Amino acid sequence: MSSFVSQLKQRRVYRVAIGYAIVAWLAVQIAATVLPAFHAPEFILPVLIVLLGVGFPVALVLAWAFDVTPAGIEKTPEGTGAAAAKNLRYAWALGAIGLLIATAGVGAYWWWHYPGTKRSAAPEVASQNAVREKEAAAPVSPAIPEKSIAVLPFENLSDEKANSYFANGIQDEILTRLSKIADLKVISRTSTQKYQSAPDNLREVGRQLGVANLLEGSVQKAGNAVHINVQLIKVATDAHLWAESYDRDLQNIFAVEGEVAGAIAEQLKVKLTGAEEKAIADKPTENVAAYDAYLRGITIEHTQYSYGAYQEAAQNYADAVRLDPKFGLAWARLGVVRSFLYFNGVDRNTNTPEAVKEAADRAKSLAPDSGESWTAQGAYRYRVLRDFEGAAVAYKQAQAKLPNNSYVLENLAFVLRRLGRWDEAEKNYKKALELDPRDISLLGSMGGEFYNYLRRFDAANATLDRALEISPDSESAHANKALVLQSEGRLTEAAQEIARIPHDSTDDFVLITRLNQAFYERRFDNAIDAIEKKLRSIAAGQAFDSITLSALVQLGFCQQWTGHQDDAVRTFTRAIQSIKPTPDTVVAPEANGLPSTLALAYAGLGEKEKALTQAQCAVQDYGADAVSKPGAEGTLAQIQALFGDADAAIAAIPHLLEVPAGITQADLRLNPLWDPLRKDPRFEKIVAAPAK
């Protein structure tokens, strides 16, 4: 060893090793600085480091074998015999040592700059992503603006408690007029209606709603006489900024709402444009009976959420415009509600495209500058024409005239997501939530649909947890939470959420969630019981809505899978006859995928050509719809699988796993409709792959 060390010194190998290391280090530092400036590919720097590492043992061996002399580079004498053989062994040993040193150096560099960085950064990135998802769903809590207000429910002091709709309507009309003022932040009725008329904890209410001022009021109606009390309260001090009483007969009640809105604007030093002054002072109608019917419709629409309630609201609006054909505001509400019922396949004999168009156009002709008229136009274009671009334009026009209307912002978000403009949609969802921070339906749409479509499950769960914090007994919030957990494949937790919903719930969305759970758990008898219970609850002769028709087709498959083939044939036939009673019946696209439901019914009967043709038509029907098209494509793939075309079905799956509103890994693992593919190695590989 002493001889080897002596040779290293004599041949100046130490000097070469140190010099090479310094030059290599400088080369790496310079390359790391310069290469990004020239947009060089990322692989160049790692390749350079490896080459410099490989060069190190070569440099050591060359330093051993050659000397630098005044006469130039000369080969170092190795001697003869045993000395020469020993020096050759030393040279090999030196090369091996150099290679070990180079490997350790390159490995250390890699550890600290590549895998090490990724290893240490991964938790940080995951943490940042989790924080980002929580922030996406967290309550917006900016500094509360002084020019902000919430109109609390008005107390009904009438002897006839049935007149509560009138107090609700007066409150809503005052709120609606205030919401037209751009310089004022106004909280939507959905968030305020859960509070008492005169709560004791005003500061807590103000904090929860994010406002500096609250308006309380009471209404007493007796015959044709109406007495209204209102008071404006500053949340921070509980001080009464302004109060007023109004005694009017019904014929002159319309002006009160504008007077109250104007007085509040004055007290809060709000700047009003000329258009805003006109908007808050306008009288919607001079017909007392028409106005009464309108207020009944508004109250039903804002306090009940079911197809039956919306049909009742539509009837009241229809009564209002019958009593006063020039009642533009009532025409607008009629158009919006009927568009919703049409979109969801409810009583399409009444809620026809022509009926929706008539209401929207009448509103526009009677009140061309009204935000409500533009809202009706947006609803018609969105839900009937499926002109999503045109609907977005209309809703933006409405939003300019109704700057504090969360409903308009939410519907704009609905349209933008169908256009595939997900980031824009999220911004509008969040703006709507600022104005309606305690709206369970809005939170449910964001968590159970929007974030679930994007597979942003952390944000979805955080949003729904917020909804359940506000309303722990909300059936829809528990159902939405279960749906998200099902999408993640967390069936035990999903079952726990479903168990928190009353067993006798008649909510359609609860039914969907329960059926999904039963499908995934393969408890087909339970699914059959739930669907048959739903069918028994429908009055004889009443047309099925699209959700019930989808459940009917699911019933057929459950009957097949449990060996009741004859029952399944009758069920599928019944579904087809209900969806397409005549060969000429046009099955138009709507909210719940009815064209795809028809395709599955044909598939259940084994009618291959009809099923595939209808499924392909559904994909075309939803071609411009980023929310519904992936579902139609998924149904087509399932039908292809059912009829043995595994190649086509499997080819569609990777895209559906990536696109928003497509399928999830959990659905591939659990849904019985994918069973025909389970023994295919290609399908098994996709199912086994980690979720993206």
Task: Please indicate, yes or no, if residue 175 is contained in any of the structural domains.
Answer: yes
Q: Which residues pair with 230 in a beta bridge?
A: 217, 244
Does one domain contain both 306 and 274? no
109 within 8 A of 27, measured Cβ to Cβ: no
* pLDDT score for 519: 95
Does one domain contain both 166 and 249? yes
Does one domain contain both 585 and 668? yes
* pTM across the whole model: 0.75
182 within 8 A of 403, measured Cβ to Cβ: yes
Q: Mark the ranges of the chain whose per-residue pLDDT is less than 70.
A: 1-14, 32-43, 60-95, 98, 102, 105-142, 161-163, 254, 692
Q: Cα–Cα distances in Å, from 79 out to 9, 75, 88, 375?
A: 17, 12, 11, 100
Phi, psi of 244 (to 5 degrees): -160, 150
pLDDT tens-place string over residues 77-127: 655 555 555 555 666 666 677 677 767 766 666 555 544 343 334 444 444
Per the structure block, which two tokens stand in for 379? Answer: 């609803």
Task: Please indicate, yes or no, if residue 384 is contained in any of the structural domains.
Answer: yes
We report the CATH number of the domain holding residue 277 as 3.40.50.10070
pLDDT tens-place string over residues 365-397: 999 989 999 999 999 999 999 999 999 999 999
Does one domain contain both 681 and 580? yes
Task: Please indicate, yes or no, if residue 507 is contained in any of the structural domains.
Answer: no
CB-based contacts of 550, cutoff 8 Å, min separation 6 = 512, 592, 593, 594, 597
Per the structure block, which two tokens stand in for 538? Answer: 């429908």
* pLDDT score for 11: 56
Task: Please indicate, yes or no, if residue 591 is contained in any of the structural domains.
Answer: yes
Spatial distance between the Cα atoms of 274 and 278, rounded to a whole number of angstroms: 6
Does one domain contain both 29 and 8? yes
Domain boundary among 260, 282, 304: 282
pLDDT tens-place string over residues 271-285: 888 888 888 888 888
Do the bridges between strand 213-222 and strand 225-234 make them parallel or antiparallel, or are there none, so unpaired?
Answer: antiparallel
Domain boundary among 255, 282, 309: 282
The number of folded domains in the chain is 4
Q: 10 Å Cβ neighbour count for 450?
A: 25
We report the CATH number of the domain holding residue 324 as 1.25.40.10
Spatial distance between the Cα atoms of 380 and 350, rounded to a whole number of angstroms: 15
Structural domain span for residue 234: 148-282
CB-based contacts of 301, cutoff 8 Å, min separation 6 = 309, 310, 313, 333, 337
Spatial distance between the Cα atoms of 330 and 605, rounded to a whole number of angstroms: 46
Does one domain contain both 541 and 580? yes
Phi, psi of 75 (to 5 degrees): -70, 135
Spatial distance between the Cα atoms of 674 and 679, rounded to a whole number of angstroms: 11
* pLDDT score for 115: 42
Give the long-range contacts of residues 518-523, CB within 8 A, separation 24 or more.
Answer: 519/554, 519/670, 519/671, 519/672, 520/486, 520/491, 520/666, 520/670, 520/671, 521/491, 521/495, 522/672
* pLDDT score for 119: 37
